[in-house]
Amino acid sequence: MNDTAEPTVVIVPGLRDHVADHWQTLLADRLPRVRTVPPLEDGKLSLTARIAALDSVLAEVTGPVYLVAHSAGVVITVHWAQSPTRPVRAALLATPPDLESALPTGYPSPEELDAHGWMPIPRRRLPFPSMVAASRNDPLASYRCVSGLAETWGSRLVDLGEVGHLNPASGYGAWPHGEQLLAQLMDNQEQVAGEGMR
């Protein structure tokens, strides 16, 4: 693998897949080298199918990779990372949901998610550096739960304050802070990689 190539950002959406005014979609439009995991045609609730879709995109990318995941996309990423098929430089993991507790109306139940392979949420250190961006008033997970997940994953925790679930329903839209966090993560890791090549 050519680690001197320009890095590619791989966007991992949540269960809602692609929303035109979602910050991930808007971020992808601004990045020079980016791939987005495409929506599933069948088996939309299957974790196995979601991991395979992520793996398929990653297999097509040469050079360094950064992941940007939101909501259930974080859980997909963490499950994929238990048996990674390629190196990842780092990941920005935004507002992971607490799938082990009841979610608001309109979301799958813990029983449905369990039946489709989502449980338990992995609680092992990730094999790459990561940053978890957590909301203080996320309707899909308590701050305490998310901070605990960040600790078990070995992630740096970023307190975003009260940003809801960081989706269009919460007013996002563009998320400039997310772009700044990604740039910070990439700058740090590119510096580490450069020092390793000396």
pLDDT tens digits along 94-137? 999 999 999 999 899 999 999 999 999 999 999 999 999 999 99
Position 5 scores a pLDDT of 79
The Cα 22–Cα 43 span in angstroms is: 23
The Cα 115–Cα 47 span in angstroms is: 10
Position 130 scores a pLDDT of 97
Position 43 scores a pLDDT of 84
Residues of the chain below pLDDT 70: 1-4, 17, 193-198
Phi-psi domain of 38 (left: phi exceeds 0; alpha: psi -120 through 50; beta: other): beta
Whole-structure pTM value:
0.94
113 close to 151: Cβ distance less than 8 angstroms: no
Position 50 scores a pLDDT of 97
Position 20 scores a pLDDT of 86
The Cα 121–Cα 183 span in angstroms is: 28
Position 41 scores a pLDDT of 83
State which amino acid sits at residue 161.
G
Report whether the peptide linkage leading into residue 110 is cis, meaning its omega lies within 30 degrees of zero.
no
